[in-house]
Amino acid sequence: MKTLFHYNWQVREDWYRWCENIAEEELLLNRTGGVGGILQTLFHIVDVEWSWIRVLQGKPDFQENFEEFYSLKRVRELDAKFKSEVEEFVLNWQEDMEDNLLHDTLPDGRIVTDTWGEVMRHVIAHEIHHIGQLSIWARELGVKPVSANLIGRGLASIAKDK
């Protein structure tokens, strides 16, 4: 699991660098099939990752407002601010945390229970899903997208997943 978080962080950083060569208007343009545009999707990835980790830690969760992070620089600053907390949790992940239970009440009043392992895998898959959207939008712009290849990223040295 740690390897896939590191993978996502590397790919996200690659997308930030990719964005440096794209006009701000294109980064902010609302697109079909996502949570907004390219920049808002990167913001969403960061915000959701941090929110889930806070929930698992029993800390209060609150949603940031994209309107306050309306530039690549501001999204990167938010990512840097949140990443230390997320990374500490991920690096300290232990196999015995896998089956811890998270109880949540949905807006309709239903109570759902998930394991921490399920939540962590959801966070990983959530980012990968949105990275796929970014790749499609990059191609629509006629620009080569960031490679989503896990191989060749030097992740073999990350702690072994079980």
Q: How many CA atoms lie within 13 A of 83 on its CB side?
A: 15
To 5 degrees, how large is the angle CA 55–CA 45–CA 31? 140
Q: pLDDT value at position 158?
A: 66
Cα gap 22→27, rounded to integer Å: 7
Q: Model pTM greater than 0.75?
A: yes
Cα gap 53→71, rounded to integer Å: 24
Please list the ranges in the chain whose pLDDT falls under 70: 158-162
Instruction: Convert the pLDDT of each residue in 27-74 to its tens digit.
Output: 999 999 889 999 999 999 999 999 999 999 999 887 788 888 889 999
> Which domains are delineated in the chain?
2-92+101-156 (1.20.120.450)
Q: pLDDT value at position 105?
A: 86
* Class of residue 14 by CB neighbours under 10 A (exposed 0-12, middle 13-18, buried 19+): middle
Cα gap 54→62, rounded to integer Å: 9
Contact 94, 111 (CB under 8 A): no
Q: pLDDT value at position 104?
A: 86
